[in-house]
Chain A
């Protein structure tokens, strides 16, 4: 079996950084080739080289044994290489068909042929097993999973022979993920090769054929069997350490601990209804549920970023005015939102400014900031949380996902939060850093903070929380101690509504 793609000794340097330092990658036609590596290992850069967005400084790329130069994204597309990125590169206001044929619209004499585009698009979607997606709908109105399918259809419409998928499951529910895997199988059966990037080892077990592991910009192992290679070995290769997710031990929540956060009968039409729970000081409450079950919406409503239609939120006994973030913040509530980059961080600003942004008043007298005090306070927290690379003056953009999350947590720590709302705290955080985040969250709780945790990863919710609330279609279907329920039961609850 000959390789469809050979990349050999790829080197890519940026000013001051050697992002790729001799990467090898071989991909065969019809296989799912998984690319593993921590954040910063060079996966994204490698993909950009492969799709023509970056030019390598050294190394060779061969497609079907023929040396090629991928000078631009267009050149890569012409060679049959397509990529589906985490942030989908679709135009939300164009229709499905228009997106699929963007850049190579069926046309005659310069007039686009809408009917032909629709017909062809329908055929491609059918091939992907998603004939139900209407080709005339605007892409923006589709759910994330549907958008992903459109992205794949676009790749196929250009006769892609190799499709790169960068964390495709990150935005999907378990059910949608299995759907995605069906589509991927369909592709490989037609001889299309898939390069699959994911942080979730269990997915790689399920869908992958072979694995290449990157570490520090170099290939440390390639051609591993995706199903047989022990997890320990993979983690060892990626991190140079051998740890799995380690959940910190629970500490006993004192029954006498005061109720800090009280949510009563919270509703928003079309999103969720009748949600109520209490969180004591030192307790972690987990919200489990599928995408669309209303878990993030509940969190944002508690925070005041969305205005509740009915019900109310009490912090330390005082009712918050609905729809007022500033009131929540003043009462000591903090939110680490789901979309870290777009909702929490000022990416181009220094780490310390991101940490102090909610506490500026403390470092100011009559409006004038004391820069040194600010830096010192932020530094202390950055050290305590082991934010790396060290130094609070660099822009947050330079940090990995896990370290960015630590910066967000540090922001609320600095404020001495009473309540911390965490939405997907480990999304985009690599395996090594996850355990650190878990430990940090537990430590916060033991210091008396009431924490509400939302995650799409059931083991995370169960492993970290003291109590769980399971949401299904906007309603709480189960509330109880985390130890008394297991992953299968939760999945049954969220899919069926009963155990």
Chain B
């Protein structure tokens, strides 16, 4: 509650925001919300420079971090949409696995070898989108809780991947595919470009389009959105398809990185993606989401990983640090949220 409510001052300077810009307003703004993440990332980098300066602060290492971030980053962008829309998708890792396997079957590869690698890419995207469609239909029209519906997809998509691949690693023999996705453009790996493109497209979609606005509405208050005339069910389906599509893209990226498709790809990506989304500032209950925050979340985790590797520290210690970061980030967010909502 601000004072303007209780003192009805009859000013007609309506077009100007009447509330003075205060500290809380600054924290509210997009910049302020991400400030904490920027600080965290900078701190991490400082630690990296201090402990492994000679190798950390090199262009090659930065690219290594970005390449690692790229795959999980694309998955996390899709996850941001689903979570902002009030859902959750536990099946992203399994969808990555299934898409990678389907896109590297002998038949698909033959097609790609005969014509163009685009067949492998479109297969992966189609498989991802189709899985997302199933998720979305189950959630929106089957009225199954997202947690359960996508849990079912998690199990069955990975199972299907194992059946198709016969639990064998499928090696990619299409040279043109490897050449394109393994290459670089202006010194930056193609994979990193894809990540940047997906993140930028995701930002525009979420913040500058009717689709994005409706996503906030559906996630913030589904009933209000429905009564405002938004096609809530159809929109929900679209969100899961989007997440699946992102998984398809991630599968292509992972295929390029490993030159394989495998039912073991993408293990625990759901947890990595949710962690990145949450520390980025997207509300797990829906209605608030930020792509920039998600990208920072992914970068924080991958940089953390890099710093630990450079310092010869074990993955177990890193897991502890990850957990601590998640808790601290969420605690901080809650404090900010409390401050900005006043009473």
Query: Which residues of A does B touch, CB under 8 Å?
Result: 14-19, 38-42, 44-45, 215-217, 303, 305, 325-326, 328-330, 335, 337, 342-349, 353, 356-358, 360-361, 363-364, 367-369, 371, 379, 382-383, 388-391, 393-395, 397-400, 403, 411, 432
Contact = CB atoms under 8 A, between A and B. Distances in A.
A461 B209 CA distance: 41
Contact of B343 (A45, A356, A391, A411): A45
B22 A344 contact: no
Given A44-B343, A346-B287, A389-B2, A357 B230 contact: yes
7 contacts: A17-B343, A41-B6, A343-B223, A348-B288, A353-B216, A358-B229, A390-B4
Nearest to B15: A379
A18 B229 contact: no
Q: Which 7 A-B pairs have the closest CB atoms?
A: A329-B229, A389-B4, A391-B17, A390-B14, A40-B5, A360-B210, A383-B14
A369 B19 contact: no
Contacts of A14: 1, 342-343
B227 interface: yes
A28 to B, nearest CB: 28
A40 B217 CA distance: 26
Interface of B: 1-8, 11-19, 22-24, 204, 208-214, 216-217, 220-221, 223-231, 287-288, 339, 341-343
Given A16-B342, A17-B3, A369 B8 contact: no
B154 to A, nearest CB: 29
A352 to B, nearest CB: 11
A50 to B, nearest CB: 15
A344 B223 CA distance: 7
Contacts of B339: 15
B20 to A, nearest CB: 8
Given A19-B1, A342-B224, A40 B6 contact: yes
Given A361-B210, A390-B18, A326 B231 contact: yes
B227 A391 contact: no
A400 B5 contact: yes
B227 A303 contact: yes
A217 B19 contact: no
Contact of B17 (A303, A325, A394, A400): A394
Contacts of B212: 369
A25 B303 CA distance: 57
A337 B223 CA distance: 11
Nearest to B13: A390
Contacts of A325: 226-227, 229
A244 B227 CA distance: 33
Contacts of B288: 348
A305 B226 contact: yes
B112 to A, nearest CB: 32
A391 B1 contact: no
B121 to A, nearest CB: 24
B22 A15 contact: yes
B227 A19 contact: no
B211 to A, nearest CB: 6
B17 A344 contact: no
A383 B15 CA distance: 8
Contacts of A303: 227
A399 B214 CA distance: 22
Given A337-B227, A411-B228, A217 B6 contact: yes
B224 A346 contact: yes
B225 to A, nearest CB: 7
Contacts of B15: 379, 383, 390
Contact of A346 (B7, B204, B217): B217
A17 B342 contact: yes
Contacts of A330: 229
Instruction: Count chain B CB atoms within 10 A of each CB in A40, A216, A337, A397 and give the residue with the most.
Output: A40
Instruction: Count chain A CB atoms within 10 A of each CB in B14, B211, B212, B214 and give the residue with the most.
Output: B14
Given A16-B2, A379-B15, A343 B227 contact: yes
A217 to B, nearest CB: 7
Nearest to A18: B3
A345 B1 contact: no
B320 to A, nearest CB: 33
A441 to B, nearest CB: 19
Nearest to A353: B213
Nearest to B210: A360
A17 B287 contact: no
Contacts of A369: 208-210, 212-213
B211 A367 contact: yes
Contacts of A15: 22-24, 339, 342
B209 A367 contact: yes
A349 B18 CA distance: 17
Contacts of B4: 388-390
Nearest to B17: A391
Instruction: Count chain B CB atoms within 10 A of each CB in A325, A328, A364 and give the residue with the most.
Output: A325
Contacts of A42: 6
Contacts of A368: 204, 208-209
Contacts of A395: 341
A454 to B, nearest CB: 15
A398 B17 CA distance: 13
Contacts of B220: 346-349
